[in-house]
Amino acid sequence: MQGGSSLIRKAEHAGSWYTAEKDILQQQLVDFLKSSQSHKSDGKLLKALIGPHAGYRYSGPTAAWAYANVNAEQVKKTTRIFLLGPSHKVFLEFIATTHCTEWATPLGNWKIDVEVVQKLCSLDGEMFQQIDKKYEENEHSLEMHLPYLRHVFASNPDVKLIPLMVGHLPDETFDKYGAILAPYFLDPESLFVISTDFCHWGKRFKFTHIFKDSGKIHESIEKLDRMGMDLIEKHDFKGFSDYLSTLKNTICGRLPLQVLLSVIKNVQKQGIEVETKFVKYAQSSQIADDMEDSSVSYASAATFVMQ
C-alpha cells in the first residue's frame, strides 16, 4: 500500500455523470427509490443485485428497482459488499482490484476491505491483481453504484467495499473464480452487486441487429435483451455464453454477469436453492424505425438464496 492522499480514489464522474451536490444527489436517490418497489422474496436472503451504470438521468430510475430490495435487516447485518463491473477503458485478462483504502462519493467515502483484497491478490495464478489508481478513476462502471450504496447503507457506515473490475477472462477460469467467490457469496454478511448495461444498439455502437418479426426496433432490442435476461434468471451459464457468442448482444457487463453465474453454479452444486428475478427493464430511447438513432438498455435484478 502507498501512503498519503493517493489512497483515496476520487469520485471522478461526480459533476458529469451524476451531480456532485450532496443534498441534490440525496434527494434524487430518494425520489428514484420512491418510484420503485421491491420484489417479494418470501423470506429468502438477498445475495446479489444487478443494476445499470449509465448517467443517472438515463439509468438512475432503473437502478432504484435493484436497490429497493435492500431492507433494514440486510443493512444492519452486511459487513462487506463485492462490487463487480466491466473495464471499458483498459484491457485486462484478470480481475482487477484496488490499491486504495477508501473510495470517495459526494455522500461520504467507502472504506475498502483491505484484508479481503490482499487475500484475493495473494492467490496463486494472479487471478486478482491491484491496478493503478488512474485506471480505477477512469472507469465509471463501479463508481456509478457508489452513491446508491452509500445512500441505502447510510445507517451502517462500517460496511466495507471490495471493488472488482472484471477483465476478458479466459473461459477456463470462470469455474475457478466461481469457486473462490462462492464462500463469500454464501456469507450472510456479504452482498454482491453486478454493474452492467444491456444492449447498446446503433451504428455508433457498431451493432444494429434486428429480429425481422419483432415490429419496431425497440421491440426487437427488448426481445434480444429478454432472451439473455431469461438465461440469467435460469442461471444457465452455458446458455448465456452461447447466447453471447451467437447473437453478439452488446451487454457491456457480460463478464461480471458470467462471474456471478459461475458463483451461483458452484453454490447450486452444494444443494442450495438460488432465485434470480429481473424486476425492471428500460431503454434510453424507444427507437421506431430510424436506423440512425441509438439506444442503451438498462435492467435491474435481485438474487436470493433460501435461508
What mean pLDDT, rounded, does the chain reach? Answer: 94
Domain extent listing, the chain: 4-197+251-281+300-305
Beta carbons of 248 and 207 less than 8 angstroms apart:
yes
Average pLDDT of span 282-304: 96
* Whether pLDDT at 64 is above 90: yes
Q: What is the pLDDT of residues 18-44, one digit of tens each?
A: 999 999 999 999 999 999 999 887 778
**Residue 1: pLDDT band with limits 50, 70, 90:** very low
Q: What is the pLDDT of residues 208-245, one digit of tens each?
A: 999 988 899 999 999 999 999 999 999 999 999 999 99
Number of Cβ within a 10 Å radius of residue 188: 13
Average pLDDT of span 284-293: 93
* Whether pLDDT at 194 is above 90: yes
User: How much is the pLDDT for 42?
Assistant: 79
Q: Distance between CA atoms of 199 and 224, rounded to whole angstroms? A: 8
* Whether pLDDT at 5 is above 60: no
**Parallel, antiparallel, or unpaired for β 160-166 and 274-283?**
unpaired
**Parallel, antiparallel, or unpaired for β 160-166 and 80-86?**
parallel
Beta carbons of 48 and 232 less than 8 angstroms apart:
no
- Secondary structure of the chain in HEC code, one letter for each residue: CCCHHHHEECCCCECCCECCCHHHHHHHHHHHHHCCCCCCCCCCEEEEEEECCCCHHHHHHHHHHHHCCCCHHHHHHCCEEEEEEECCCCCCCCEEECCCCEECCCCCCEEECHHHHHHHHCCCCCCEEECCHHHHHHCCCCHHHHHHHHHHCCCCCCCEEEEEEECCCCHHHHHHHHHHHHHHHHCCCEEEEEECCCCEEEHHHCECCCCCCCCCHHHHHHHHHHHHHHHHHCCCHHHHHHHHHHHCCCCCCHHHHHHHHHHHHHHHHCCCCEEEEEEEEEECCCCCCCCCCCEEEEEEEEEEECC
User: How much is the pLDDT for 6?
Assistant: 56
Nine-digit cell string for 297: 438498455
Q: What is the pLDDT of residues 81-118, one digit of tens each?
A: 999 999 888 888 999 999 999 999 999 999 999 999 99
* Whether pLDDT at 3 is above 50: no
Q: Which residue has the cell 459533476?
A: 15
Q: Distance between CA atoms of 12 and 60, rounded to whole angstroms? A: 18
Q: Distance between CA atoms of 20 and 75, rounded to whole angstroms? A: 24
Q: Which residues pair with 193 in a beta bridge?
A: 49, 83
Direct distance between the N- and C-terminal alpha carbons of the chain, in angstroms, rounded to an integer: 38
CATH hierarchy code of domain 4-197+251-281+300-305: 3.40.830.10
